[in-house]
Amino acid sequence: MVRLFGPLVGLFFAVALLWSFGNGAYSAISEPAAPTAEHEFHLHPKDVKFASDGAFGKFDKQQLQRGFQVYKEVCATCHSLKHVAFRDLAALGYSEAEVKAIAKEWGTKQPTFDPKTGERAERDNIPSDYFPTVYYAGQGSPPDLSLITKARHNGGAYVASLLTGYQEQPAELLKKFPDAKTPDGLYYNPYFANLNLSMPAPLTGEGQVTYSDGTKATVDQMAQDVSAFLIWSAEPKLDKRKQTGWAVLGFLLVATVLAYLAKKNVWADKKGE
């Protein structure tokens, strides 16, 4: 009996699955979803170019240092960078002494716990420590930025667009979708998925950061610099990966040519047989 009913049960579920799929497809075609403010007014990231883009791109260390400065002075109050260690900053061109100073002077200390006494305390950061977690007491839960450019499509351009995208809600949006008015405590940004987010514009004007290399700190410049830094934080070995990739491709090309020549040599005397 089990052998008899087993195929019938499987057939029943297969038919039910096909019916459900067909019914859903028919509904989607015959009754399309109503337009939403998010669908009509959400914008794709701007066309922002970075030095690390493309197969031959390389990080601009000067820009990465500027981006780290923006993160340190603007973003670090709310957003963590827990997957990056202070010693990793040496890859940006900082000396060992500079890395030690950055770690020691960082605003958030490393928590400690003494299992013998049960006491909790704090100590200064050292280069081998990862950036300490930021505990935010305001509205929402700011995301960790270590991998943000990997977690978002076209991540670097997305971050730069979001940072420079704050604006008043368009009158056309409010006219077409009266219920889509930005709630109190939120801020309109067309580059964010649902158009409204709890983070106010972090980059408020020119000169908010004073760059040590003399670069003019416009909002666009700061946004691009910190985005470049976050591209690096998400994939600090990007330069080496590209170099390794080209070396591997070169090896495979040479190996392919040698294999072809070896094949021609081995089978040269067999063609007439």
Q: Mean pLDDT for each consecutive 10-residue tract of the chain (273 residues)?
A: 66 79 70 77 94 93 97 94 96 96 92 86 93 81 94 95 96 91 94 93 93 94 98 94 91 94 82 56
- pLDDT of 27 reads 66
Delimit the domains of the chain by residue range: 37-84+132-236, 90-129, 241-270
- pLDDT of 112 reads 86
CATH superfamily of 37-84+132-236: Cytochrome c-like domain (1.10.760.10)
- pLDDT of 21 reads 77
pTM over 0.95: no
To the question of whether residue 79 is assigned a binding role by annotation, the answer is yes
The span from the CA of 177 to the CA of 171, in Å, is 10
Number of C-beta neighbours around residue 143 at 10 A: 14
- pLDDT of 264 reads 86
Contact 174, 181 (CB under 8 A): yes
Phi/psi at 113 (5° precision): -145, 125
- pLDDT of 219 reads 96
pLDDT, tens digit (0-9, with 9 covering 90-100), for 29-66: 766 667 788 888 999 999 999 999 998 999 999 999 99
pLDDT, tens digit (0-9, with 9 covering 90-100), for 223-262: 999 999 999 999 999 999 998 999 999 999 999 999 999 9
To the question of whether residue 78 is assigned a binding role by annotation, the answer is yes
| Coil, helix or strand at residue 39 | helix
The span from the CA of 214 to the CA of 216, in Å, is 6
- pLDDT of 17 reads 82
Contact 134, 125 (CB under 8 A): no
Number of C-beta neighbours around residue 218 at 10 A: 15
To the question of whether residue 222 is assigned a binding role by annotation, the answer is no
